[in-house]
Amino acid sequence: MRIQDKSDDEVRELIGAARDAGIDYFDHADIYGDAPQHGCERRFAEAMRLSSSEREQITIQTKAGIVKAGPYFDFSFEHLVASANGSLQALGTDYLDVFLLHRPDALVEPDEVARAFDELAQSGKVRRFGVSNHTPGQIELLKKSVTQPIVVNQVQLSLAHAPIIAQGSRRTCRARSSRSPSTAAAFWTTAG
């Protein structure tokens, strides 16, 4: 989220160090960077210039739904599809491995999200879907409409940001991760 002002060499060094450490999962969001949208995604693509075989070796996740200039969230069909298309273009790729709703919106229309997820899956533009910082109740609400499996809840967790624990997300992730190894890999916590 802070690579937009880095040089090509700095971005490649950062990603190279991650790859050397065994990391192959790279997280983006349409609002990361100073550009109106997709600034860090574009910077990543410009610096990395991935060949198709290099692209296949990594997992690219991005998020959408936060609108900087208010109304602050937009999980409409139109916005989610347009954001995914913008991310594809900025990242210079034909598909996104994972596409997340970026933070919960109390006014979400689950049917709009379901239509967008179905459109993106059927077109082959997105392989998997998830959410970011959603409570178990918010995920269950989405599941009533969404037909695509929600495979990720990316949770911000740090000493400065721990409310998600009180809302039960850690317990839910732990319960799901004990069910199967594939589910365990789909739920994780990010440093905040």
For residue range 45-70, what is the model confidence (pLDDT) as tens digits? 999 999 999 999 999 999 999 998 77
3-state helix, strand, coil in the chain (%, to 5): 45, 20, 40
Q: Residue 99: what residue type?
A: F
**32 belongs to the catalytic site:** yes
Amino acid found at 148: Q
By CB atoms closer than 10 A (0-12, 13-18, 19+), residue 14 is middle
Average pLDDT score over the chain: 86
Across-strand partners of 59? 25
In whole angstroms, give the CA distance from residue 87 to residue 64: 9
135-149 average pLDDT score: 95
Lowest-confidence segment of 87-91, 131-135, 156-160 by average pLDDT = 156-160
Please report which residue ranges of 92-168 form alpha helices under DSSP H.
110-122, 136-143, 163-166
Please give the average per-residue pLDDT across 89-110, as a whole number. 95
Cβ distance 124 to 88 under 8 Å? no
Q: Taking the model in full, what pTM does it have? A: 0.83
**Residue 17 φ/ψ region, left for φ over 0, alpha for ψ in the -120 to 50 degree band, beta for the rest:** alpha
Predicted confidence at residue 185, as pLDDT, reads 38
CA distance readout (Å), 85 to 61, 92, 105: 13, 10, 21
**Mean of the pLDDT values across residues 114-142?**
96
Please state the φ and ψ torsions of residue 181, each to the nearest 5 degrees.
-60, -35
Exposed / middle / buried, residue 142 (Cβ in 10 Å: 0-12, 13-18, 19+) = buried
CATH homologous superfamily of 8-152: NADP-dependent oxidoreductase domain (3.20.20.100)
Identify the burial level of 170 via C-beta atoms within 10 angstroms of its C-beta, where 0-12 means exposed, 13-18 middle and 19 or more buried. middle
Please tell me the least confidently modeled range out of 62-71, 93-102, 124-133, 162-171: 162-171
Task: Kindly name the residue from 25, 32, 72, 95 that is annotated as catalytic.
Answer: 32
Question: Using an 8 Å Cβ cutoff, are 70 and 31 in contact?
Answer: no
